[in-house]
Structure 1
Amino acid sequence: MLELSQIRADLDASTTEASCLSVCRTAAKRLLKLSDADIARIELHRKSVDARKKHDVHFVLSARIELAEHLDEQSILSRVPADRRKNIRTVDAAAPAFPAPVAPSRTSGVQPVVVGAGCAGLFAALTLAHAGLKPLLIERGDDAIRRTESIERFVRTRTLDPESNIQFGLGGAGTFSDGKLNTGTKNPAHRLILQTMVDAGAPREILWDAKPHVGSDILPAVVTHIVDDIRAHGGEVRFRCRMVDIERAVDGSPRALTVEQNGKTERIATSQVILACGHSARDVFELLRRRGFALERKTFAMGVRIEHLQADIDRVQYGRAAGHPALGAAPYKLVAHLPNDRNVFTFCMCPGGEVVAAASEPGGVVVNGASLYARSERNANAALLVNVNPADLPGTDPLAGIELQRSCERRAFELGGGDYHAPAQLVEDFLAARTSTTGGRVEPTYPLGVTWTSLDEVLPAHIVDTLRAGIPALGRRLRGYDAPDAVLTGVETRSSSPVTVVRDRTCVAIGAPGLYPCGEGAGYAGGIMSAATDGIRCAEALLAHVK
């Protein structure tokens, strides 16, 4: 199969998959000197926006072409002048797939347990199910329908369900986010993950969009269909089932899990556990510390959510092309390296989205961001973060980062008024170190309401100082980012795990053969795609042991 890249496409000529393929077909015929009959199949592989010149915003496409049987790829390539071959390459046409079923004699008596049905746990369980191991997947929160009801109830009544919320439940925290699937790494599993999501109901364009997203209105159905696939392949999935203990054998390996479900306690014997609990499962980390598993502090990040008018971001990013239906809402990704040897950076940017109430513990305020698939809301928001390094924490407790997160969340709850209002401040006031008393053009979208105040009181001093120095620096990178009436809402504490559950190169926990720490919570991923990839990696490691 041949891949052609760097194909220019005007905005008006590439609004749909069919129109993009038409542009690619024309380019392939011209460059490779082909006729329509010479092309057996053509597929769109990548589509990205080139907005470096604001007067000339356009798409850049790549396509993969399968030639007719009578044609040889090398002979076709020989037709192309050497100076024009740089954007053509041969690629493997084979599609990645889940492992083939393991021989039944190998799986006899083996039922691995996957703890947590976030992206890592889902894809770990799906991989094991396809391999014939009939895994048990347990999730402390609800299925997608009941979880949605719990979140809506929290917004309506301010009654938080600690087991079913933005953090806990089917699909993990990613289900009620923007559903971004872009990643800075390359892995053959990425295509398999994307195709699995499309088969489960995600939009087809995630297969080629350079910055793919699904949206929190579509993701619940997608993860539900993945659960259906796990069950169809012999796996078992339990909701409202929380792990409360791990028994260890003499060699440190898991021997059994104790779980609670529907008010009853059950002991589940197993020697193979994939631990994909997510970074908000603080009770699990406390359990691991108590049971002597190897834990280490790791760098994590905290800060606030920043909101701007999406129309302002669109104009800065796309110039006169802003608002073109082929472009949609403009994203951004920013970082500034500061004289204090710290960085301020954006994370989980949600174009046309809203700030969501992401608490999982009573008496704490946590914010996150989400977008629907259409990304059509008035505001843009993003996490604006500063790293917290292990050296910033007191003592030697590996869970010290969790205690820092919790203290900031509780202070935000108190400062907001004690009823899950979130503390908020205008950028102008934050930079001047004065308390905000009212808002401006940008109306906060946090659904439980905000209390205008000073965010200096809810975050560590080094984060406040770095944000204060960093916002003007980011404003020099993206015009208007430091607009006076942009809104800061706190606190964003759950962007990454402050703990690593230490594992070796084979994904096995140190001193605990048969336990596979997995995903964001264990410290080995940082988003939907990387978590799903790590889930597959840990499942394959478990399969290698079984085989």
Structure 2
Amino acid sequence: MPHTSSIRITELRLPIDHSPEALAEAIAKRLDLKHSPSLVYTVFKRSYDARGKSTQILLSYIVDVQVDDAAQMLKRFAGDKNISATPDTRYHFVGHANALSAQKKRPVVVGFGPCGIFVALVLAQMGLKPIVVERGQAVRQRTQDTWGLWRKKILNPESNVQFGEGGAGTFSDGKLYSQIKDPKFYGRKVLTEFVKAGAPEEIMYVSKPHIGTFRLVSMVEKMRAEMIALGAEIRFGAKVTDVLIENGQIQGVQLADGDIIESNHVVIALGHSARDTFEMLHKRRVFMEPKPFAVGFRIEHPQSLIDKARFGKYAGHPILGAADYKLVHHAANGRAVYSFCMCPGGTVVAATSEPNRVVTNGMSQYSRNERNANSGIVVNITPADYPETAPTDLALAGIEFQRFWESRAFVLGGEDYSAPAQLVGDFVSGRASSEFGRVQPSYKPGTKLGSLDSSLPSYAIEAIREALPAFDRQIKGYFMHDAVLTGVETRTSSPLRITRGDDMQSLNVKGLYPAGEGAGYAGGILSAGVDGIKVAEAVALSLTQP
């Protein structure tokens, strides 16, 4: 019986409208095989190259092919950099519950966003039965609370876009790609679990996978059900108000209702908006330090304009879908201006978690078929920029910086959670806007036209004014007079880092594991999930090994 094994082919290019049989034929030709119909292969990755949009857009494949003798095949193509052994991308658990772990207190996971979900899921799959505490509500109740702000201008500070099951990523584009280094293929574990929970199979191989809010809701519920079936305990409306520390060792957490959960392994998987929890941890002298982030506006264009600029005659092709973009400009004042969290065919949403503040973000559904494209256009901020709004302690100064400009946006928007807005042409020319043009803003609960000049620091306004016309050289039509800017985008990432060592534990509190976006170690759903897996492994090793 011949031994069957697998090899990988990269950079296999085909026209975007190739026939279903063409890929198998290309594989057979590449490997000098005679019978393409009998080939067994899987697509590991499919991306597109739109640089030839005026002539031909090409699809680029990475495929894993079953062959009778991989070693012999690799020997034949020893000098070919695009043919190699297929790596093992399966996830391997670092341990499982044992007699030692049974003697220890159960691990606690604070926060149930993408990072906390994967910490809890992996721990549960290893039999370690975590206790999850989430200040917000279960995802369906949370969705109703979020719509309360968007439709009725009623904010629930504990259940909103930022807080609740699924985290901030639930109300986003559901992007599942990242530029993090991932040599152990943890990202494949994240995607595999999402598919198991109901995500489309294509997220395993398309170059820029996304899910969208509606699908994320049901997926999160299925993942929660699996954790509970494996022995996890999940508490909603359970806000951590204190951490119990003795002699530099975590002993547990205290909840707002007075309940104490004892544990020597506590994962702090906060989102970037858990400001009161950051303040509590700082009061308890958990080591943290300020880090850079970015602030800016949301910009909206017709999605059709972006599609045409990016894809030319192939705009609207079903394989390509709605076009995205990534832009950067280095302004004369030394600031970097760049696009952030671009949402094709989506909407701009209200994302505040504190009363009397306005925060914007972007969101898309899986279909990405709304009229407008939107993206953050943001400017880099460093701790050196904090002093004008800073308290005496720099570790929390980024939070105060964000609050200052969010409060300003609330006033500029009319003090009812409407957001201040301005047409792009008027913004660059320095004149207030009085009526919308071809682009109607999608932000709910509403917008108030005027001037954005006082909504951000002067250096940010100056840099964005310079960048918008410059972006037109990269995307024709981008500097569109009646494209809309909506302010303000302040929560691009955490303004601080709860620093940890190589063992994933706090530098000065043993057993406390800072994790995910709020702790400064992730940016987006995929990277947060990956960080959650890494932290879960560290906790598991501590629980199961002497």
1:33, 1:79 within 8 Å by CA — same for their partners in 2?
Answer: no
1:347, 1:383 within 8 Å by CA — same for their partners in 2?
Answer: yes
**2:493 aligned partner:** 496
CA distance in 1, matches of 2:499, 2:270: 14
1:3, 1:64 within 8 Å by CA — same for their partners in 2?
Answer: yes
Pair 1:88 & 2:98 matched: no
Listed one character per residue, the Cα deviations across residues 186-240 of structure 1 (whole Å, up to 9, x for unaligned) are: 3110111111110011111110011111111111111111111211211111111
For residues 400 and 13 of structure 1, do their structure 2 counterparts lie closer, same or farther at Cα, with a shift above 3 Å needed?
A: same
Q: CA RMSD in A?
A: 1.6
Partner secondary structure for residue 399 of structure 1? helix
CA distance in 1, matches of 2:17, 2:335: 43
Q: Report deviation, 1:183.
A: 0.8
1:355, 1:369 within 8 Å by CA — same for their partners in 2?
Answer: yes
Pair 1:439 & 2:436 matched: yes
List aligned pairs for 1:40-189, cutoff 5 A: 41-55=40-54, 56-67=56-67, 71-80=68-77, 82=79, 85-93=80-88, 95-187=90-182, 188-189=185-186
CA distance in 2, matches of 1:437, 1:240: 43
Mean Cα deviation higher: 240-249 or 473-482: 473-482
**1:540 aligned partner:** 537
One of 292, 300, 303 as aligned partner of 1:310? 303
1:97, 1:192 within 8 Å by CA — same for their partners in 2?
Answer: no
Pair 1:287 & 2:280 matched: yes
Q: Report deviation, 1:114.
A: 0.3
Mean Cα deviation higher: 71-80 or 364-373: 71-80
Pair 1:417 & 2:414 matched: yes
Q: Report deviation, 1:35.
A: 4.8
Q: Report deviation, 1:58.
A: 2.5
Q: Report deviation, 1:539.
A: 1.2
**2:3 aligned partner:** none
**1:345 aligned partner:** 338
1:366, 1:490 within 8 Å by CA — same for their partners in 2?
Answer: yes
**1:228 aligned partner:** 225
CA distance in 1, matches of 2:89, 2:278: 40
1:351, 1:380 within 8 Å by CA — same for their partners in 2?
Answer: yes
Q: Report deviation, 1:134.
A: 0.5
**1:201 aligned partner:** 198
CA distance in 2, matches of 1:473, 1:171: 37
List aligned pairs for 1:263-302, cutoff 5 A: 264-302=257-295
For residues 338 and 156 of structure 1, do their structure 2 counterparts lie closer, same or farther at Cα, with a shift above 3 Å needed?
A: closer
One of 327, 336, 359 as aligned partner of 1:366? 359
CA distance in 2, matches of 1:324, 1:157: 38
Partner secondary structure for residue 404 of structure 2? helix
Q: Report deviation, 1:323.
A: 1.3
Pair 1:481 & 2:478 matched: yes
Q: Report deviation, 1:38.
A: 9.7
1:32, 1:79 within 8 Å by CA — same for their partners in 2?
Answer: no
CA distance in 2, matches of 1:81, 1:507: 40
Matched to 1:278, the amino acid is G
CA distance in 2, matches of 1:24, 1:217: 33
Matched to 2:25, the amino acid is T
1:99, 1:130 within 8 Å by CA — same for their partners in 2?
Answer: no
Mean Cα deviation higher: 349-358 or 533-542: 533-542
Pair 1:507 & 2:504 matched: yes
2:77, 2:83 within 8 Å by CA — same for their partners in 1?
Answer: no
Count of residue correspondences: 532
Task: Name structure 2 gaps, 5 residues minimum.
Answer: 1-5
2:504, 2:514 within 8 Å by CA — same for their partners in 1?
Answer: yes
Partner secondary structure for residue 267 of structure 2? strand
1:100, 1:130 within 8 Å by CA — same for their partners in 2?
Answer: no
**1:254 aligned partner:** 250
Matched to 1:169, the amino acid is G
Q: Report deviation, 1:24.
A: 2.8
CA distance in 2, matches of 1:244, 1:40: 59
Partner secondary structure for residue 423 of structure 1? strand
One of 185, 200, 208 as aligned partner of 1:211? 208
One of 2, 5, 11 as aligned partner of 2:16? 11
Partner secondary structure for residue 100 of structure 2? helix
Matched to 2:278, the amino acid is F
Task: Name structure 1 gaps, 5 residues minimum.
Answer: none
1:307, 1:487 within 8 Å by CA — same for their partners in 2?
Answer: yes
CA distance in 1, matches of 2:78, 2:158: 62
CA distance in 1, matches of 2:252, 2:74: 59
Q: Report deviation, 1:30.
A: 1.3
One of 370, 386, 391 as aligned partner of 1:393? 386
CA distance in 1, matches of 2:437, 2:468: 18
Structure-1-length-normalised TM-score = 0.94
CA distance in 1, matches of 2:168, 2:501: 26
1:195, 1:207 within 8 Å by CA — same for their partners in 2?
Answer: yes
Q: Report deviation, 1:433.
A: 1.2
CA distance in 2, matches of 1:166, 1:2: 44
